[in-house]
Structure 1
Amino acid sequence: MKRKITYAIVILAGLQLMAGCRKYLDISPQERVLLDNYYKTPAEANAAVISIYDRFGFQSGGLYDKVAIMDVASDDQFTGGGGPSDINDLQVVNNFTLNSTTGPQSYLWNKGYAGIFRANVLLSKIDGITMDATVKARYTGEAKALRAIFYFDLVRFFKNIPLLTSAVDPKEIYNVLQVAPADVYALIEKDLVEAIPGLPNTVVARTEGGRLTKGAAQAVLGKVYLQQGKNAQAAEQFALVNGTSPGQINPVYGYKLLTNYSDLFKVANKFNSESILEIVHSNASNGGWGDAGASEGNLLNIIVGPRGYKPGPGAPDYYSGYSFLLFTKEFFDFIHFDPRNKPTVANLDSLEKNGIATYEKGYQNTGYFLEKTIGRVADKAPTGQTELNFPQDSYEIRLADTYLLEAEALLNSNAAVGPGSRAYLLFNAVRARVGLNPVPVTMDNIMKERRLELAGEGHRFLDLVRWGKASTVLAYKGFKAGRNEIFPIPQGELSNTKIEQNKEYGGTK
């Protein structure tokens, strides 16, 4: 999705709720497009929708994104990098020493509320635009579904948050209050239920790849239900996404597991049959160091590459990077004899011991790198800053994820899970794709399978929290039960406002 929006909506910075977001609205008077003069045509409505997607795919200028944050919060990966303070926002997540002034929470908060602001503005204006009713319903659905996605992340990350469904009067910006998480979930569900009918079943990948479909919104709604323990409702939504015959193509949406697991992570396989919702990246944006977060390139591709990489004959064409998101030795031992090992883990120590390549040992080096997203020389950008312009897309949701989630929802709702049952077929279709034999559908097996299948894709930490396992599994990293399940609200959102810090971080909320 296009990242650099060619228009700007001028409104008081306070409407975005947080002071940290003000820089996104700072523009020169000569470039201003006044709010009252915009939202007049279908083209402007489409541009406004694209501006919401801009926040969905937004990356931090500190060279990380949501996936990186979730990965280093998990038990599978260390932050790594060049030293104990390199990308410090990630380091403090890795050892759970983050606080209201230190960590990536401002990025997460600002990304979410800036997207919500843009969605709210479009939703308040779209009824006044003369346009085809089907197109209007689609744009409305996209705005509501994206708003739901932003709120889903925010309520999981921060728990007690403001709930904004319209622009806030500048005079009231410092009086905004938080609401109960149940109220946020109620809006999320309502937005998604209302959005789904207006969304298309499929989109043309070449021109609209990355835009929401019915299946994507239903997958998100399934995740929302599952997060709240509404297992039967979650299973119902996932069934619509996964299709009537697990392992076979969904005849409505065209979803199907790829035959080869490793093909999921090839740059050329954007918008493949397993992709339900992905964040689009490009090597054509000419992104530079002046605003790295605004680049359309995938910043994970550069930060996870091995430092000082020097390949010999026959070595992989990794682009030398910054050695972040290293897998732990424990995880490597866990996945070592699984068929997904090589597509997941780049074993640099093995390459070096066999005289195939050398690399510099960074901070917390284990020798085990994230193969799925290492930038490749073959994918170098033709122009611009190479490091910031790798084109690999990131999966927000893919089919193996929803197969396993439906199996989990069915198990937890006391549905049949024995051989021949839907849960059994879903669960073991994921294993069969990589040549593994069937195993029973148990919670332990589901947890193991999600860890193996989705490693390094940003799911593990949120899974552990949902399962109530985080305090045990992450104790070695300093995780404290009843505290580190969420992030502290950024200090900048507390100063001179009525927003209160969560009690987990010394507040009263």
Structure 2
Amino acid sequence: MKQTSKPVSFRWMNLASSIWPMKSKSKHMKYRNILNAIAVAAVSFSLTACDDFLDRPNEDSYNVDNFYQNDEQLYQTANQLYSSPWYDFQRGFIKVGEVMSGNYYMGSSPYLTLTVNSSDADLATMSASLWSVNAYCNTLIKNVNEKAGSATTETVRNAVKGEALTWKAMTYFFLVRSFGAVPIIHENSEMMASNTYNDVYKAKVEDVYAYIVQTLEQAIAWLPESAAAGRIDKYCAEGLLAKVYLAKSGLGMSGTRNEADLKKAAEYAKDVIDNSGRELMPNYADIFRLANNTCPESLIAWRWTAEGGIWTAQNSFQSDLAMTGFDEYISWGGYGGPSVDLIEAFDEDPTSPTRQNIDSRRKATLMMAGDVYEYFWTDLGGFDVLDFCFSKETKGGKIGPQTYQSPTGANCVKHLVGDNADHVAGIGHSMARMATSLATHILRLSDVYLIYVEAMIGNNGSTTNQSAIDAFYAVRHRARSGYTKPTSVTWEDVWKERRLELACEGDRWYDFVRLSYYDQATAISELTSQKRNAFFGLNDAYKVYWESGNLDASNASYDTGIAAPNVTSSSFTLPFPDTDLALNKHLLEDPIDVDVTQYKY
């Protein structure tokens, strides 16, 4: 396979003018391009496909000059945006989105204590991954504009560019909420040609948001109203734009938010709710099953595949989040788990073996003592949490850790598939080491419902608007079947509902960031009052309960010996990684004004 490349010294430029890499010789080849400042990116394309959506080119003769010749090939170029460039963002997705927010416990992690510094390895790979996505989007758009053959149609050319712009906007949305002011890299090849890629300045936060809005507006203009299952369409981009406007509404404000931005957020969200044709899944837990990877509730998602053995095309969350022995491969997630604070938000008590199950989202999010899952280990009759933890007899050749691993009283459920039999039953092919094909939902319809409600509440504290109440009721009633429709909804209602609905989906920290834009005191107060520590004695208490049916939790206690994190105004912005700072001195300087209208698509 032909590949044209030249060395570059800035990682943000690490996708050169060709997006077609050489074939990976090993399924364990790492996504090294984002870690090597002088290497051209090499995003591996799978040589086989699990379904049409994830098809990749499989001809060695393809290269950037002869590939963009028909509509099918154009779609294949965009497929990669849904997985590989995002791969090394996975740990940052959990550590920033959930651990920093107090939703997840990970021991002495600096993300838990809000003391992340610029030398953190996960911070570096997170940053590099985001900039690689941006570069891939830029390069794809350039190639479609310049190299698309006469057999391609304008509709598909625009659709593919619209997908790339939506992912580009998503990338900048993560960047600005993570790092604050960041450079705007609109086009890579021109910077490479002019050798200016180490001299780019940060744009002010408000200019970055303006760029995101402008990018999404163009994406909406190009995207079709409907697309193949799993692909981004106009309404997916509108849902993201609603979320951007909701976040943007607090910028530069004190106590209140910008009414015009709130109105835009409500308008875009309502259009998605009323006209997209999408609907909430009746059963919340079903959203996160393999068979529903492209369910009608999923607007934007990473669409992974474990088939083909190509590193970075797969979902690796199960290895990071599941208890040891959960599947036939390696996993190490039992040392952490959803926080005590999140457990209590679901009205559960870690020292009790009796589950309240007031909210159906709890069991679909938090795996606790007494839970049995019919959709895990389906070949063995289901997955019993305590049996798995303590049984010395193997079940179908699988044996648990012989201890209750969770330090908090819960383990993660979302992002897990189960064993290999579950994987085959769900999607038709096997999983592998650190590899499943489970989609990661980045924007769901229920999120858009809650965005609409919050935007309608606006600066009033509550709303009696019937359409907003209906939207809120739709989300909560699914989780709590006996819930009676209210006559008004408050901001506090929505704030908590977002936490329960989207827990462990990489979103909560960014809610705190946008809250800090206009009400930093409230954000700091909640973060410092959380139960972010572990429990002592749960293993012994649960083991006795499993053996005898009696739970004596008198020796189980919450660790009060670790102080709450020191949350300040600077806590809501992550530092740039050392590797980025070494390459661009301007990252340490004040941001500049940028007129984003100069950028053309």
Contact 2:83-2:303 at 8 Å conserved across structures: no
1:184 aligns with 2:208: yes
- Structure 1 residues 432 and 160: CA distance shift in structure 2, 3 A: same
Question: Does residue 260 of structure 2 align to residue 232 of structure 1?
Answer: no
Helix, strand or coil at the partner of 2:291: helix
Q: Secondary structure at the match of 1:408?
A: helix
Question: Aligned-pair distance for 1:401?
Answer: 0.9
1:291 maps to: none
Instruction: Tell me by how many angstroms 1:157 deviates.
Output: 0.9
Give 3-state SS (helix, strand or coil) of 2:308's partner: coil
**3-state DSSP of counterpart to 1:179:** coil
Aligned AA (2:508): R
Contact 2:316 2:435 in 1 (8 A): yes
CA contact (8 A) 1:18 1:492 kept: no
Question: Does the CA-based 8 Å contact 1:52-1:115 persist in structure 2?
Answer: yes
Q: Is the 8 A contact 2:13 2:135 kept in 1?
A: no
Report the Cα distance in structure 2 between the residues aligned to 1:127 and 1:27, rounded to whole angstroms: 22
* Structure 1 Cα separation of the partners of residues 280 and 430 of structure 2: 35
How high is the TM-score relative to the length of structure 1?
0.81
TM-fit CA distance, 1:256: 0.8
Query: 2:335, 2:234 → 1: CA distance?
Result: 35
- Candidates 388, 409, 417, aligned match of 2:463: 417
Per-residue CA shift, 1:113-151, capped at 9, x if unaligned? 112212222333333333311111112212222211111
Aligned partners of 1:446 and 1:270: how far apart in 2? 26
Shift of 1:426: 0.8
Q: Name which of structure 1's ranges 183-192 and 229-238 shifts more when overlaid on structure 2.
A: 183-192
Contact 2:242 2:265 in 1 (8 A): yes
Residue in 2 aligned with 1:99?
A: 117
Q: Give the drift of 1:241.
A: 0.9
Separation in 1 of the partners of 2:385 and 2:242?
46
Distance in 2 between residues matched to 1:124 and 1:26, nearest whole Å: 16
The residue identity in structure 2 corresponding to 1:323 is: G
**What is the match of residue 493 of structure 2?**
445
Q: By how many angstroms is 1:55 displaced?
A: 4.9
Distance 1:416 1:481, change over 3 A: closer
Distance in 1 of aligned mates of 2:572 and 2:388 = 42
Deviations 1:26-51 (A, max 9, x none): 669xx99886x366534654443234
How far does residue 13 in structure 1 lie from its aligned partner after superposition?
2.5
Q: 1:139 to 1:320 in 2, by over 3 A?
A: closer
Q: Paired residue for 2:181?
A: 160
- The count of corresponding residues between Structure 1 and Structure 2 is 460
What is residue 76 of structure 1 aligned with on the other side?
103
The residue that corresponds to 1:332 in the other structure is 343
SS of 1:285's partner is coil
What SS is found at the alignment partner of 1:138? helix
Paired residue for 2:502?
A: 454
Q: For residues 363 and 233 of structure 1, do their structure 2 counterparts lie closer, same or farther at Cα, with a shift above 3 Å needed?
A: same
Alignment partner, residue 108 of structure 1: 126
1:143 is aligned, of 164, 169, 173, to 164
Contact 1:10/1:34, CA 8 A, preserved across alignment? no
What CA distance in whole angstroms lies between the structure 1 residues aligned with 2:494 and 2:234?
26
Distance in 1, matches of 2:2 and 2:87, equals 17
- Report the equivalent of 2:314: 297
Match of 1:195 among 219, 234, 255: 219
Instruction: Name the counterpart of 2:595.
Output: none
Task: Percent identity, please.
Answer: 23
Residue in 1 that maps onto 2:514:
466
8 Å contact 1:212–1:277 — kept in the other structure? yes
Q: Is 1:368 matched up with 2:410?
A: yes
Partner of residue 139, structure 2:
121
Q: Which consecutive residues of structure 1, in runs of 5 or more, have no partner in the other structure? A: 1-5, 85-90, 244-251, 288-293, 311-316, 504-509
Structure 2 unaligned blocks of 5 or more: 15-34, 44-59, 250-260, 349-355, 373-383, 391-400, 517-521, 529-562, 591-601
> 1:39-71 CA distances to partner (integer Å, 9 max, x unpaired)?
6534654443234334554235xx725144311
Tell me: CA distance 1:8–1:231, structure 2 relative to 1, closer, same or farther (3 Å): farther
Question: SS state of the match for residue 161, structure 1?
Answer: coil
Amino acid at match of 2:454: E
Question: Which position in structure 1 is the counterpart of 2:422?
Answer: 379
CA contact (8 A) 2:105 2:408 kept: no
One of 199, 210, 213 as aligned partner of 1:175: 199
Indicate conservation of the 8 Å contact 1:126/1:136, yes or no.
Answer: yes
Residue aligning to 1:430: 475
Q: Cα 1:387–1:380, aligned 2, differ >3 Å: closer, same or farther?
A: farther
- 1:55 and 1:389 map into 2 onto residues whose CA distance is 12
* 2: CA distance, partners of 1:502 / 1:105: 20
Structure 1 residues 193 and 494: CA distance shift in structure 2, 3 A: same
- Which moved further from structure 2: 15-24 or 265-274? 15-24
Q: Which amino acid aligns with 1:332?
A: I
1:469-503 per-residue CA deviation (whole Å, 9 max, x = no partner) reads 43222225524221221110111112252322378
1:309: Cα distance to partner? 5.6
* 1:402 aligned to which of 448, 472, 481: 448
Superposition RMSD in Å: 3.3
